[in-house]
Amino acid sequence: MNRWTPFEWITALRFLKEGRMQTIFIVTAVAIGVAVIVFMSAMLSSLQANFIKRVLTSQPHIQLIPPDEFARPLRPPAPGRIAAAIVQRPAQRIRSIDQWQKIKSQLSEWPDIVTVSPTMTGSALAVRGAASRSITLTGVDPEVYFKIVRIPDYIVEGQPRLLTDDILIGTELAKNLGASLGDKINVSAATSASRTLTITGIFDLGNKGANQRTTFVALRTAQALSNLVGGVTTIDITVNDIYAAETIAQSVEAATSVEADSWIKTNAQFFTAVNAQQTSNTLIRVFVGLSVAFGIASVLIVSVIQRSKDIGILRAMGTSQGQILRVFLVQGGLLGFLGSLIGAAAGGSAVVFWHAFMRQADGSELFPLILEPSLFINAVLLAAVTGVVAAAVPALRAAKLDPVVAIRG
C-alpha cells in the first residue's frame, strides 16, 4: 500500500483488480465508446477545416460591392394628392465603387482586417479561332489579391504572373478553347473593347464550372476592357477571425455605406450542412456517453451486490457511509478514466491511420489531420466525470446498505 493513498482509493483499486474480468470488459466498452467519439470528432473537425480551407482560399472573407441602383420618382405628389406610380427596378450596370480609394485606406487601418484588395469584375467573351466562351474577367492586383485567393496554389501549368497583357485561365476553358500555356486569346468585353492576352498560367480550382468561367487579368487591363478606367467593382477583404466575418461586414457596411457580404452569408448552405453534421455528432456523442454511463452503472450495481458482505464488514469496522460512497464513486471515475485513456489513444490512432490510407484520386490527402489536444483532454475528463456520475446510484446503494443485512447476506 502506498503511504499516501487514502482508504477509498486503495479499496476501489483492489475491488477493480479482484473483479478483473468485469473491469476489463467495462474498460473495453468505455474505450470503444470514447474511441468512437474521438474518431468522429477529429474527423469532423478535419473535414470542416478542409471545407473552410477550400472555401476561404478561393473567395474573400468579405466582399464590398456598390449598392444597388434604384429608381427615384422625380415628381412627388402634391400635398393632398395621391399619385399612383409604377416604379421599375433599373438594370444594374457595372459601375465603380464610389471613392473606393478612400474606403480602401479606411479599411486598411481597421484592426480586424488583414488584407484589402480592390478588384474589377465583369463579363467578357474569350475567343480563339472559331471557339468562343463567355468568361468572368477579374482584374486584380496580384500581390494583394493572391493573399486572399491563393491562385498560385491552384496553378497546374505556368506561373501566376499578371502583367498588362497576361491572363490566367482555368483548365476547362483552356480545353474548350484548345489553348495551352503561352497561347494568345482575344478577350472582348461587353463594352466592345477587346484585347489580345497571353496565357501565362492555367489553374484548377477543383470545380468544373469555375474552371470554365473564371479568368484573372491585371487590374488595369480589366479596367480598360470594362471602360471603367480607375474604377473597381468590388473590394475583397480578409479578416483575422473568419467566424467574425459577418459582424465585421455589418460594421463595414455601416461605416462605408457600401454593401458588404461576408462568406458566412454567401455560404449559408455550407453552414447549414456544418450545423447538421455537428448536431448529428452531438447526438451520437450523447448516446455513446449514455451507453458508457449505463455500462459502468450496471457493472457497479453488480459489484455492490457481490460485495455486500465486504461492505457490511467495512461498515462494522467503522467505515462511514461517506467512505463507502467514495469507494464506488472512485471506481466509476477510474473505469471512465482508464477506458477513456485507452479509447482516446485508439481513436487518435484510427484517425492517423485513416488519414494515412484515405487519399484523393490525385494522391493528395483527403482531409488535413487535425488532432487538437483539447479533444483528448475533454474526452478523458468527460468520461471520468461520466464514470463518477454513473457510479452515483450504485454508490448510494452501497452506502445505504444496512450492515446487519449486508453481513447476513
Partner 1 sequence: MAENTPVLRLDGVCKSYNIGTSIEVEVLHDIDLVLQRGEFVALIGPSGSGKSTLLNIIGLLDRPTRGRLFIEGQETSKLNDTAITKLRSHSIGFVFQYHYLISAFTALENVMMPLLVDHAFPTNEMQQRAADLLAQVGLTQWENNLANNMSGGQQQRVAIARAIAMNPALILADEPTGNLDTKSANTVFEMMQQVNQTNGTTFLLVTHNMDLARRCHRIVEVVDGRIVTPSPVRDST
Residues lying near partner 1 in the complex (CB under 8 A) are found at 1-4, 7, 10-11, 14-15, 17-18, 309-310, 312-321, 323, 403-404, 407
Least Å from the CB of residue 293 to partner 1: 25
Helix axes 268-306, 321-357, angle to 10 degrees: 140
- Can you tell me the distance from the alpha carbon of 232 to that of 139, in angstroms, rounded to the nearest whole number? 9
Least Å from the CB of residue 297 to partner 1: 21
For residue 106, what are the β-bridge partners? none
Least Å from the CB of residue 3 to partner 1: 4
CB closer to partner 1, 42 vs 324: 324
> Cell 406610380, residue?
85
- Can you tell me the distance from the alpha carbon of 216 to that of 127, in angstroms, rounded to the nearest whole number? 15
Residues 6+ apart with CB under 8 A from 222: 119, 120, 121, 122, 137, 138, 139, 140
SS3 113: strand
CB closer to partner 1, 18 vs 365: 18
- Can you tell me the distance from the alpha carbon of 322 to that of 318, in angstroms, rounded to the nearest whole number? 11
> Cell 467505515, residue?
319
Least Å from the CB of residue 5 to partner 1: 8
Least Å from the CB of residue 25 to partner 1: 18
CB closer to partner 1, 18 vs 153: 18
* Strand-pair category, 131-140 with 113-128: antiparallel
> Looking only at Cα atoms, what is the longest distance across the chain?
103
Instruction: Report CA dihedral (102, 105, 111, 115) to the nearest 10 degrees.
Output: 120
CB closer to partner 1, 5 vs 196: 5
Least Å from the CB of residue 391 to partner 1: 18
Q: Are 399 and 321 in contact (CB under 8 A)?
A: yes
CB closer to partner 1, 12 vs 27: 12
CB closer to partner 1, 200 vs 303: 303
- Can you tell me the distance from the alpha carbon of 54 to that of 294, in angstroms, rounded to the nearest whole number? 41
CB closer to partner 1, 13 vs 389: 13
CB closer to partner 1, 7 vs 287: 7
- Can you tell me the distance from the alpha carbon of 151 to that of 140, in angstroms, rounded to the nearest whole number? 11
Least Å from the CB of residue 387 to partner 1: 20
SS3 228: coil
Least Å from the CB of residue 378 to partner 1: 33
CB closer to partner 1, 229 vs 316: 316
3-state percent breakdown (helix, strand, coil) of the chain, nearest 5: 55, 20, 25
Least Å from the CB of residue 272 to partner 1: 55
> DSSP letter at 164?
T
Measured in whole angstroms, the distance separating CA 400 from the mean position of its chain's CA atoms is 49
CB closer to partner 1, 189 vs 324: 324
Helix (H) or strand (E) holding 268: helix 268-306
Least Å from the CB of residue 328 to partner 1: 14
Least Å from the CB of residue 404 to partner 1: 5
Burial 255-294 (b: 16+ CB within 10 A, else e): ebebbbbbbbeebeeeeeebeeeeeebeeebeebbeebbe
CB closer to partner 1, 1 vs 254: 1
